[in-house]
Amino acid sequence: MGKYIKFFLVGIFFGIVLVKSEAVSWYRIFEMFKFQSFHMYGIIGTAVVSGVLFLLIAKQFNIKTIEGNSIKVPLKAKGLSRYIIGGTIFGLGWALCGACPGPMYILVGTGTISMIIVIAAAILGTYLYGVLKDKLPH
Amino acid sequence: MEYILEPWPWYVSGPLIAIVMFLLLYFGRTFGMSSNLRTLCAIGGAGKKVEFFKFDWKAQRWNLVVVLGAIVGGFIAHFYLSNPIDIDLSENTISDLNNLGFTNAGDSLLPPELFSWENVFTLKGLSILIIGGLLVGFGTRYAGGCTSGHAITGLSSLQLPSLIAVIGFFLGGLLMIHLIYPILF
């Protein structure tokens, strides 16, 4: 149990940040895709710039994980079709229900119980991908 | 305390999200929320029928704990760390939403037109949530990640596949909002 506490705490922090930043709001996602506010671009942009810096610092100072290994980001497989087609399908859903897989759960915590329907459908969608995987271009 | 209760500006929120990513990497894991959907499929027994779900899901329990924390975090932030104020949306967004039939935009985190029970239990309302969820679940796994895995982690580590995926995210989002919304609403 003890080894899971740190993950629970990171999760709490993540949930708080996404609510306080309003990134979980359907309205903010709509506004982003309408290019009517800098807010979401600012969040994603500063997250990526900070992320790049953190990874550079980790490399420069050879910061190890708590297990003593080098900090490594898993590499995504090479490819084009899966990223552009899969990405577009996800984008359609993201804009339709205004929630990506993190916010879906967080919004349940904010009291939107109907979001469980979206989560259940997303699990089913993932299952469908698993079934069709070998027939799809990757 | 007042600063905490107000909505947090983007230049505070973005770096904090990067800290989440970094902490998970520091713990020897990675930041990827959509992977949990695959894990949930495996827990539900999908591995008996489909090869893709035949993996050691118990090794992914840590990520489900992150999800559990995120739900609790959402609860804490919404009920204890927020002044009840409207989302400061742009004027154009509010008027565009009004034209689509979404009134009181920004009053709450989500539009009651889509998420209140009375609208959820209409054919259209239910279809939107189910189709939206299906697309998210299918698309994220097809693309091998979502906003956390590709847009934050993948771009931070300068991976080309993630850039392509993020371009896809926007392609899909723009199609939905600019072409499909005017038909739907």
Q: How many other CB atoms are found less than 10 A from the CB of residue B138?
A: 27
Are residues B165 and A73, on separate chains, in Cβ contact within 8 Å? no
Q: Tell me, what amino acid is at B137?
A: G
| AA letter at B127 | S
Residue B14: list chain A partners with CB under 8 A. Answer: 21, 42-50
- Whether residue B58 contacts residue A1, with contact meaning beta carbons closer than 8 Å, is answered with no
Average the pLDDT over B71-84 and give the result. Answer: 95
State whether A77 and B148 contact (CB < 8 Å).
no
ipTM attached to this prediction: 0.97
Burial (Cβ within 10 Å: 0-12, 13-18, ≥19) of residue B27 = middle
Confidence at B1, pLDDT banded by 50, 70, 90: confident
The pLDDT-based confidence of B2 (bands split at 50, 70, 90) is confident
Q: Which of A13, A26, A127, A128 to mutate to test the interface with B (most CBs of B within 10 A)?
A: A127
State the alpha helices, DSSP H only, in A1-138.
Answer: 2-20, 26-33, 39-60, 81-97, 101-109, 115-132
- The Cα of A64 is separated from the nearest Cα of chain B by a number of Å equal to 7
Is A124 in contact with B134 (Cβ distance < 8 A)? yes
Nearest CA in chain B to A54: B22
The pTM (predicted TM-score) of the whole model is: 0.97
Of the pLDDT bands very low, low, confident and very high (cuts 50, 70, 90), residue B84 is: confident
The pLDDT tens digits of the residues spanning B102-111 come to 999 999 999 9
Q: pLDDT per residue over A59-113, tens digit each?
A: 999 999 999 999 999 999 999 999 999 999 999 999 999 999 999 999 999 999 9
**Residue B53: predicted pLDDT:** 98
**Cα–Cα distance measured from residue B158 to residue B24, given in angstroms and rounded to the nearest whole number:** 18
- Is the pLDDT reported for residue B77 higher than 80? yes
Q: Which of A1-5, A127-131, B76-80 has the lowest mean pLDDT?
A: A1-5
Give contacts of B110 with chain A, Cβ < 8 Å. 25-27, 98, 107, 112
A102 with B61: Cβ contact below 8 A: no
A-B C-beta contacts closer than 8 Å: 501
